[in-house]
Structure 1
Amino acid sequence: MRPGRRLVAADAVSVSFGPRRIVCLTEEPTETLYALGEQDRIVGISGFTVRPPRARREKPKVSAFTRARIDEILALEPDLVVGFSDIQAGIASELIGRGVEVWISNHRSVAGILDYIRRLGAMVGTGPRAQAWADELARGLDAIAEDASRLPRRPRVYFEEWDEPLITGIRWVAELVRVAGGDDIFPERAAEPLAKARILADPGEVVRRAPDIVFGSWCGKKFQPGKVATRPGWDAIPAVRDGELHEIKSPLILQPGPAALTDGVRAIAAHIQDWGRRQG
């Protein structure tokens, strides 16, 4: 066999399969594909993407969360568009109607995030690498939980996703609070997938549930502890009394992707561990 033919055969075997031109409508597929070394497949990203930072420099921004520039996406000739949640159903429907293949994930739990990484990896031909990374992330969570098991007691935690109106934390956030050693004070609300079902009509309910720590992650604006502390009646809350009002940056925790399982949960754990040391 001629050398040239052998090279062609070898090249054919080495070509990876799966979609080659991917548009990511949210941050978590972008971060996942970069981490798996498959960033060259990405041809467009969400304007809200901040992780990894290089993605904003390298990739055109073609969508927000509830809006997308459909014509610009079509001009990129994607063979797959990846988005998240029923909130993007309208974008997905329009793209599907224009002949584009779309995958909208709808996971809301830690287990769902790990499975999302595995599935996306499998779709681009890096299943074993994605599985190994998901296993590594799970071991990291186990290590944080092991550290948390040595706390003198578990703090009661209120996680505020928005302030006007008050919206409590979603399921994966409540689960990561638990991994880090705390107990979410609104577990029944965390199970609700839609933000409108987690609106807290009575702020006094937070006072009655008396959290030891308050975390704020107001998507799109800076958390203001001083504003929280001056809410009527909130001076009776242990977290307010003790100055345990902390911001968790929304890109770290409010995206159901790798950031939440790494920097997000570690930021929560650091504050809980500091609280634990002060309990004496």
Structure 2
Amino acid sequence: MNRTDLGPQRIVCLTEETTEWLYLLGQQHRIVGISGYTVRPPQARHEKPKVSAFLSAKIDKILALQPDHVFGFSDLQADIAAALVRAGVAVTVFNQRSVDDIVAVLWQVAALVGCTQAAQRWIEAVHAQHAAMRQAVQQRVQRGARRPRVYFEEWDDPPITAIRWVSELIDIAGGEDIFPERACQPLAKDRVLADPLEVVRRAPDIIVGSWCGKKFRPERVAARPGWQDIPAVRQGHLFEVKSADILQPGPAALTDGVAQLHRIVLAWMDGQVAAVLGQGGVAQAGGCHA
């Protein structure tokens, strides 16, 4: 049952993914404050007061909005959450790290605002999209193509490998994450590459950069000592996916982010990478949670 008169009526979203989700559900009227890093949907920046960064927030400004619920993300916002709880505000801090976790959080938020039917339709459509991607890849494998090995880099200095949901989206898109053992580490510090030459040894066919809101510079990656021997570098198969599209654990990653990865993977499997080279996304200012 959909009962959009239920649940919180004045919501502050401390990260982008819950803002985007509420807009997708048609519940943007409930949002009274957002993160300053929000770029999806674009209209949110023009319509809603910006009351937080990622690691800090304007507590007084949030309280002045009289929210009846605040949505946050991870232990990194624990201090913000604690301050708001002490002030008497209801706070939910999510900690999604996998594709299944993301879906579960979207469902929980939808339930809070009485939109489970709309959420179910959206989730089913996403699952169908992912199944179609897997089928397209499998068809190519059956014709003799192989899945490309993918190195995903979410930061450059020091190099940081893909978080779990990104690693899983690489798999859905048809690639093979070269650092699957690192993806299970929830903290970025535990995914730092102490030895960048390990990328050389694992020989990725594709390199994807998503540098948390700053422009990916493939020429700098290609110029790293020893990296000229990597197949992806030798062939010029370096791409960018915007951090706002894949490093926010919400709707964008499950739709736009994985779609960009899938397009790159299929082009590589079809021997048509030149057709999409450099079109994986353009850097855009914005936060990321990975």
Using structure 2 for the length normalisation, give the TM-score. 0.90
**2:131 aligned with 1:142:** yes
Name 1:85's counterpart in structure 2. 74
**2:9 aligned with 1:20:** yes
The alpha carbon displacement at 1:145 in A equals 1.4
**2:45 aligned with 1:52:** no
Name 2:19's counterpart in structure 1. 30
Name 2:182's counterpart in structure 1. 189
Deviations 1:56-107 (A, max 9, x none): 1100100011110110000000000001111111111111111111001001
The alpha carbon displacement at 1:15 in A equals 6.7
Name 1:76's counterpart in structure 2. 65
Q: Is the 1:158–1:213 contact (alpha carbons within 8 Å) kept by the matching residues of 2?
A: yes
Q: Structure 2 residue aligned with 1:166, among 131, 138, 159?
A: 159
**CA RMSD across the alignment:** 1.4
Q: Letter of the 1:71 partner, please give it.
A: D
Percent identity, please: 60
Name 2:93's counterpart in structure 1. 104
The alpha carbon displacement at 1:150 in A equals 2.4
The alpha carbon displacement at 1:272 in A equals 0.8
Q: Which segments of 5 or more consecutive residues in structure 1 lack a partner in the other structure? A: 1-13
The alpha carbon displacement at 1:217 in A equals 0.3
Moved over 4 A (4+): none
Q: Letter of the 1:192 partner, please give it.
A: Q
* Greater Cα radius of gyration, structure 1 or 2: 1
2 CA distance for matches of 1:236 and 1:261?
Answer: 32
Deviations 1:166-198 (A, max 9, x none): 100000000000001100000010000110110
Q: Structure 2 residue aligned with 1:41, among 27, 30, 34?
A: 30
Using structure 1 for the length normalisation, give the TM-score. 0.93
Q: How many residues align?
A: 268
Question: Secondary structure of 1:150's match?
Answer: helix
**2:242 aligned with 1:236:** no
Q: Is the 1:148–1:179 contact (alpha carbons within 8 Å) kept by the matching residues of 2?
A: no
Name 1:177's counterpart in structure 2. 170
Q: Structure 2 residue aligned with 1:94, among 78, 83, 86?
A: 83
Name 1:61's counterpart in structure 2. 50
Q: Which segments of 5 or more consecutive residues in structure 2 lack a partner in the other structure? A: 274-290
